[in-house]
Amino acid sequence: MARIVEVATARLVRQLHTPFVTALRRTSEVVSVAVRLTDADGRTGFGEGPQVWRVTGESLAGIEACVLGPLADILLGWDPADEAPSAAASTLGAAVVGNGGAKAACEMAVLDLLAQEAELPLAQLVGATTSSVATDVTLAAQGGFDEGVDASQFGQLKIKVGLDPADVDRVVRIAQEAPGRPVRIDANQAWDLETASRSIGALLAAGVVLEFVEQPLPAWDLAGHAELRRRWGTPIVLDESVFSIHDLRRAIDVQAGDVVNIKLAKCGGIYAGLAIAAEATGAGLGLMVGSMMESELGVSAAAALAAAISPDAVHDLDAAWWSIPLSDAASPYRDGRFVLDPSPGSMHAAGRVVPDSGWYARG
């Protein structure tokens, strides 16, 4: 391989085939940041970082500034092949606090270059042996399902709750469409302890089979999550509570959760995700991998992590499905699964989504 000679970013704009409706907003377009690394041989590697004001605090402009500033300082002139594939994660991780999406996007692009060099799919480079992973599909907090979403290919639903007092009735109605099938609910921190407890109790009393309840309480409230587990025995998934391996250790100490939802934009990349997964597994926790609203570029990397750490779980990787035309024969979504690209490097999705122009480069 060769030294990295250029770092570039561009805005990645995608229209959704079905608007994603929540009580807060109606989204029909998603914009993220694509990262492109070019080495001295002219080879390119790609990554993606999502804007997530309400979870990570990262913005489009912030990701661009981080990538083209301190992260480019490290990447330019560096030959990743001189070190282990995990080196990018530790070097980028040490340079900047937070900014998980920017760091993850750069690590994806480095791993794409390394995987091309090794003539391996990225998923295989990071330890995966399967060729696809199962994913749920998300029903938005309001609307969504009634607006023509054909989610029939997916075997598992994740229902967003927490913004509407009628949530419990809605979940019961959806659950009754397939009696006995477990449903996942995700409150995205919206409840307090008593609201969460009342809602879980009402759902169980109505006969709803809850596979799990994800992040019912604010990220900081580990004790509240532990209390909910004790009261109801319903598995709790920690998402916004766990960014780093240190967050995970604190959660384990107080027995706050049963499963951790790992996202690259929170933890900062695939190797950080692998470390979190090993720690969680050692403590007896289950694993799932999720993503932010991003394209198949970022989701490809998340799916590689998912395949490496928990090939049999049903993950939370439907984000890109919303922006791929339903008639697209090359869609990576097939029969409720995300199919990993088998060619060297994993980020060939880049060819389908990144723009030809609008790149800001530093070399």
* Residues in contact with Mg ion by the rule CB under 5 A: 186, 214, 239
Q: Which is nearer to Mg ion, 263 or 348 (CB)?
A: 263
Instruction: State the greatest distance between any 2 C-alpha atoms of the chain, in Å, as a whole number.
Output: 63
**Which of 6, 186 has the CB closer to Mg ion?**
186
Classify residue 162 by its DSSP letter: S
Residue 158 annotated as catalytic: no
Closest separation between CB of residue 160 and Mg ion, Å?
Answer: 9
Distance CA 61, CA 145 (A): 33
Tell me the torsion sign for CA atoms 52, 270, 12, 291.
negative
User: Please, what is the minimum distance in Å from the beta carbon of residue 189 to Mg ion?
Assistant: 9
Q: What angle do CA 75, 78, 81 make, to 5 degrees?
A: 115
| Contact (Cβ atoms closer than 8 angstroms) between residue 345 and residue 115 | yes
CB of 215 to Mg ion, least distance (A): 5
User: Shortest approach of Mg ion to residue 239 CB, angstroms?
Assistant: 4
Nearest position to Mg ion, beta carbon: 239
Which residue from 188, 182, 138, 134 is spatially nearest to 159, judged by alpha carbons? 138
Shortest Å, Cβ 284 to Mg ion: 21
CB atoms within 10 A of CB 85: 20
Catalytic residue among 103, 158, 160, 266: 160
Q: Strand, helix or coil at 339?
A: strand
CB 113 within 8 A of CB 39: yes
CB of 342 to Mg ion, least distance (A): 29
The secondary structure of 4-68 as a DSSP string is EEEEEEEEEEEEEEEEEE-SS-EEEEEEEEEEEEEETTS-EEEEEEE-BTTTT-B-HHHHHHHII
End-to-end CA distance of the chain: 17
Is 103 one of the catalytic residues?
A: no
In Å, how far are 28, 53, 88, 270, 291 from 346, measured between CA atoms?
27, 27, 17, 13, 17
286 strand-pairing partners = 259
Nearer Cβ to Mg ion (22/90):
22
- Known catalytic residues are 160, 263
